[in-house]
C-alpha cells in the first residue's frame, strides 16, 4: 500500500483504503462458524485447555485461556466492551490529531502497544516482544485476515494462534454474537448487567428502526464514501451492518458494483446517478467527510445534501451491543425525520 501509483491494489487493500464502500482519501494521497470453547463465559477464572473455532472454520488452541492478546483495533474495542483487555492493537488507532480513531471505541490507546496504524503496517518485532498468546482480527473475505499484511503474514501467524471473525457475509446480530462468544471463551461475564442492558437497548433500537422503515417505505438510503477524485456507492448486502438494516426494512440504492462486488465508483460529474433521500457517509479517517466536499458543486446539488439529510455511517462497527445500539437509533431517527426529496 506504500506505492499506490505503481502497485495494483488487492481487493482487500481496496476495502481497507476506503472500506467496504470505497477507496476513501488514500487514493487521493497516492459465514458464520460454530463456536466451540472450553469456557462458559461466567467471568470466573478458567483452568485447563482453551479452544475456539473461528469463522474460517479453524480452531485456535492453547494450554490455558490466552491473556496476552493482540487484536485489530475494532475487534479489540468490542472485546473491551465485554471486559476483555488486549496488550496490543493494529489498524486505525490514532487519528492525525493524536486522538483516538473512531474505530478505537472506549479503549485507552495510551495503554496498548500500537503495532501499526495504517494499512500494510504491522511491527512484527514489537508483536513478538509482547509474547502473544492470541491474535484476533476481522474478515471481509474468506481466509483474509484484516490488516495483517500478506508479506509478513506467515511470520506473524507462527507466533501465536489466530482467530478471524466475519465482518461481511453475516449480519450485525450474528457478528455481535460471535464477538460475544469469543469474549466469553476468554473469561468475560456475558451475563453481567452492563452486557444484558446493552443487549436490551440494541433490541429496542432494532425495533425502532424496523418501525421507522415501515412508516417511511418510500425513503431510499445511499451508502457513500468520498475521495478527492471519486465517490463510491456501496451495495448494502455486502456488509454485516447494512445487510441487517435491509432485513429490518430499510430501502437502499443498489449500485452496479465492480468486479470486487462491494461498491461502484462514480466520478464527481456522475455523483447524481442514483436518487436518494438519505446519504450515509463513511465516517472513517480514510474517507473525506461531508464538510470537506464544499468544493464539489455536484455534491452540493444532491437533493439529500440540500435537505440536510446526510448522516455518518459507521462503516466498520465495533461489534458489541453497546456500540451497535446507537448506530440503529441514529439511522432510525434519520428515517423518522426524513422528507422524500428524490
**Residue 292 pLDDT:** 94
CB 234 within 8 A of CB 15: no
CA 222 to chain centre: 18
H/E stretch holding 207: helix 193-215
CA distances from 28 to 25, 235, 257, 261 (A): 5, 22, 21, 22
126, exposed or middle or buried, with CB in 10 Å at 0-12, 13-18, 19+?
Answer: middle
Compute the distance between CA of residue 332 and CA of residue 75 in angstroms, rounded to an integer.
Answer: 25
DSSP 240-281: HHHHHHHHTT-EE------TTSSEEEEEGGGTTSS--SEEEE
pLDDT of amino acid 12 = 56
pLDDT at 13: 58
Residues belonging to the chain? 342
Q: Alpha helix locations (H) across 56-171?
A: 73-81, 124-129, 153-158
pLDDT value for 34: 40
pLDDT-flagged residues of the chain (< 70): 1-47
What is the C-alpha to C-alpha distance for residues 169 and 331, in angstroms, rounded to an integer?
Answer: 21
Looking at residue 17, its pLDDT comes to 52
pLDDT of amino acid 33: 39
Distance CA 311, CA 130 (A): 39
Give the CA radius of gyration of the chain: 20
Residues 6+ apart with CB under 8 A from 200: none
Instruction: Report the C-alpha gap between 115 and 125 in whole angstroms.
Output: 9
Digit-coded pLDDT (tens) for 182-218: 999 999 999 999 999 999 999 999 999 999 999 999 9
pTM summary value: 0.87
- Residue 320 confidence (pLDDT): 98
Q: Which residues contact 229 (CB under 8 A, 6 or more apart)?
A: 27, 28, 267, 268
Q: DSSP 3-state assignment of 87?
A: coil
Q: How far apart are CA 16 and CA 49, in angstroms?
A: 35
**Cell, residue 284:** 472513517
Amino acid at each position: 500500500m506504500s506505492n499506490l501509483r505503481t502497485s495494483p491494489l488487492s481487493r482487500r487493500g481496496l476495502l481497507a483504503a476506503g472500506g467496504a464502500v470505497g477507496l476513501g482519501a488514500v487514493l487521493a494521497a497516492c459465514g458464520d462458524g460454530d463456536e466451540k470453547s472450553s469456557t462458559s463465559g461466567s467471568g470466573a477464572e478458567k483452568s485447563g485447555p482453551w479452544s475456539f473455532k473461528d469463522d474460517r472454520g479453524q480452531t485456535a488452541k492453547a494450554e490455558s485461556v490466552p491473556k496476552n492478546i493482540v487484536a485489530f483495533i475494532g475487534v479489540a474495542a468490542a472485546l473491551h466492551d465485554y471486559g476483555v483487555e488486549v496488550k496490543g492493537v493494529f489498524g486505525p488507532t490514532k487519528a492525525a490529531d493524536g486522538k483516538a480513531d473512531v474505530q478505537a471505541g472506549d479503549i485507552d490507546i495510551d495503554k496498548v502497544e500500537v503495532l501499526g496504524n495504517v494499512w500494510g503496517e504491522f511491527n512484527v518485532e514489537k508483536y513478538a516482544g509482547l509474547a502473544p498468546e492470541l491474535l484476533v482480527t476481522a474478515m471481509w473475505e474468506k481466509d483474509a485476515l484484516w490488516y495483517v499484511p500478506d508479506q509478513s503474514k506467515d511470520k506473524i501467524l507462527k507466533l501465536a494462534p489466530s482467530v478471524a471473525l466475519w465482518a461481511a457475509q453475516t449480519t450485525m446480530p450474528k457478528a455481535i454474537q460471535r464477538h460475544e462468544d469469543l469474549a466469553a471463551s476468554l473469561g468475560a461475564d456475558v451475563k453481567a448487567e452492563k452486557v444484558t442492558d446493552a443487549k436490551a437497548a440494541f433490541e429496542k433500537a432494532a425495533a425502532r428502526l424496523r418501525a421507522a422503515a415501515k412508516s417511511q417505505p418510500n425513503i431510499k438510503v445511499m451508502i457513500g464514501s468520498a475521495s478527492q477524485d471519486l465517490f463510491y456507492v456501496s451495495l448494502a448486502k455486502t456488509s454485516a451492518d447494512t445487510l441487517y438494516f435491509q432485513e429490518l426494512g430499510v430501502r437502499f440504492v443498489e449500485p452496479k458494483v465492480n468486479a470486487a462486488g462491494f461498491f461502484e465508483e462514480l466520478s464527481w460529474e456522475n455523483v447524481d446517478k442514483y436518487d436518494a433521500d438519505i446519504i450515509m457517509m463513511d465516517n472513517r479517517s480514510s474517507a473525506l467527510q461531508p464538510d470537506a466536499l464544499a468544493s464539489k458543486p455536484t455534491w452540493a446539488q444532491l437533493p439529500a445534501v440540500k435537505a440536510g439529510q446526510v448522516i455518518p455511517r459507521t462503516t466498520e462497527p465495533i461489534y458489541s451491543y453497546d456500540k451497535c445500539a446507537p448506530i440503529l437509533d441514529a439511522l432510525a431517527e434519520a428515517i423518522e425525520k426524513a422528507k422524500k426529496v428524490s
